[in-house]
Amino acid sequence: MLFSQIPRTSLLTEPTLLEKAAHFGDTIGHSSLWIKREDVMGLGMGGNKVRSLEFWLGEALEKSCDIVLAAGLPPSNLCRLTAAACCRLNLDCEIIHNAAPSNTNPRRGDSRFLYDLMGVRQIYCGPVDEQARKAFVEERAQELKEQGRNPYILGDPVVGALGYVAAAQELLFQAEQKHIDLRHVFISASAGPTEIGLLFGLRLMGGPDLHVHLVSVEYPAHTFWPIAQEIWQGLCQKLHVTPPLSLQYNTHFYEEYLGPGYAKHSPETWLALRLLARTEGIFLDTTYNAKVFAGLTDLCQKGRLPTDEAVVIFHTGGVPTLLMREE
Ligand SMILES: *Cc1c(COP(=O)(O)O)cnc(C)c1O
């Protein structure tokens, strides 16, 4: 078994839904669109990070860690889901935000509201960059060690990617059960763990005709590929297996849907979000998934994607951020 030597804790009890989006498909002129609903999960309003947390927190438990540290901007999905998972596993955690502290009471529509409900501690280290935030987290971990605690710093990209190797296995099995001749998979490309884990799993267990479409929401190609290569190598080592197909074989990377940049929306983002809401009653976040749906729509309309070959689009979650006031 692929994961038999690897620590993992169970946070997802069922496979996520694989739903046909017929009305959306008709509207953009595609006859076989399916959505992998990673936004619908039992824990903490769901999202891709839950799958990674199975392996991150599996490792934390194996190492007998008694406090988990996770860092991100205030609306971070990673932070929200880490807090939720720690509540479920009865693990202590601290969430560190690189933002100015907020003095007001948490209210609905603030990113702090859900942490307040969960009773999880948030620390604000000021509006610094990721490098400085990382240093702050390491200092905090050191401080905790001096107090006799055993902290786990969350976020190793290779460990996180394992969650999406597992998702690839789940998807291939589901497609077979539903008799879908899967030819295209779409997913956002950002820091790497999710999309490279998925790609690795699809290349390991799927057929050679499968095209994987990565829609960048953060980096240009020349920044993305070296990160991707490193995670891919890390997975080969961790799982003691090398996929028969290479990282770039039938993989398509799009920079042109990034718009004004990471987490910045554009008219196309909102068009895609409205279109999916109006045709399927499904909501998207503006940072990741609306850009993927905008890209898919554009490729269909330009005739760059065959309109009768089965497509699965990963909806990675993030919808709670849609309801947050911009801070
Ligand atoms: C973190 C996140 C992603 C991107 O995952 P990476 O592994 O960083 O590429 C995509 N969608 C949502 C909703 C996320 O929270």
- Evaluate: CB of 318 within 6 angstroms of ligand 1: yes
- Ligand 1, atom 15: closest residue by C-alpha: 77
- Evaluate: CB of 206 within 6 angstroms of ligand 1: no
- Evaluate: CB of 32 within 6 angstroms of ligand 1: no
Q: How confident is the model at residue 160 (pLDDT cuts 50, 70, 90)?
A: very high
- Evaluate: CB of 315 within 6 angstroms of ligand 1: no
Q: Residues 213, 185: contact at Cβ < 8 Å?
A: yes
Give the neighbor-by-neighbor strand order of the sheet with 92-97.
121-124, 92-97, 67-72, 151-153
Which mutation among 77, 190, 285 tests ligand 1's pocket best, with the greatest number of atoms within 8 A of CB? 190
* Residue-wise pLDDT tens digits, 161-172: 999 999 999 999
Say whether pTM exceeds 0.85.
yes
* Residue-wise pLDDT tens digits, 45-78: 999 999 999 999 999 999 999 999 999 999 999 9
Kindly write down the DSSP assignment for every residue of 235-249, as one continuous string.
HHHHHT---SS-TTT
* Mean pLDDT along residues 224-238: 98
Is the per-residue pLDDT at 1 higher than 90? no
- Cβ atoms within 10 Å, residue 314: 25
Instruction: Report the pLDDT value the prediction gives residue 221, as an integer from 0 to 100.
Output: 97
- Evaluate: CB of 191 within 6 angstroms of ligand 1: yes
Alpha carbon distance 53, 194 (integer Å): 12
Question: Among the atoms of ligand 1, which is closest to the Cα of residue 77?
Answer: 15
- Evaluate: CB of 49 within 6 angstroms of ligand 1: yes
The Cα-based distances of 193 to 49, 85, 203, 251, 325 in angstroms read 10, 19, 15, 16, 28
- Evaluate: CB of 288 within 6 angstroms of ligand 1: yes
* Residue-wise pLDDT tens digits, 200-224: 999 999 999 999 999 999 999 999 9
Q: What is the mean pLDDT of the chain?
A: 96
* Residue-wise pLDDT tens digits, 16-32: 999 999 999 999 999 99
Of all residues in the chain, the percent with pLDDT exceeding 70 is 100
Instruction: Report the pLDDT value the prediction gives residue 327, as an integer from 0 to 100.
Output: 63
Sign of CA dihedral 195, 196, 200, 203: positive
Q: Residues 114, 320: contact at Cβ < 8 Å?
A: yes
Q: Residues 240, 204: contact at Cβ < 8 Å?
A: no
- Evaluate: CB of 192 within 6 angstroms of ligand 1: yes
Those residues whose C-beta lies under 8 Å from the C-beta of residue 267, and which sit 6 or more positions away, are: none
Question: Across-strand partners of 152?
Answer: 68
- Ligand 1, atom 11: closest residue by C-alpha: 316
Alpha carbon distance 198, 212 (integer Å): 9
* Residue-wise pLDDT tens digits, 250-281: 999 999 999 999 999 889 999 999 999 999 99
The residue assigned the tokens 């604000």 is 124
- Evaluate: CB of 193 within 6 angstroms of ligand 1: yes
Alpha carbon distance 65, 56 (integer Å): 11
Instruction: Report the pLDDT value the prediction gives residue 105, as an integer from 0 to 100.
Output: 86
- The dihedrals phi and psi of 97, each to the nearest 5 degrees, come to -115, 135
Question: Among the atoms of ligand 1, which is closest to the Cα of residue 197?
Answer: 7
Alpha carbon distance 8, 25 (integer Å): 37
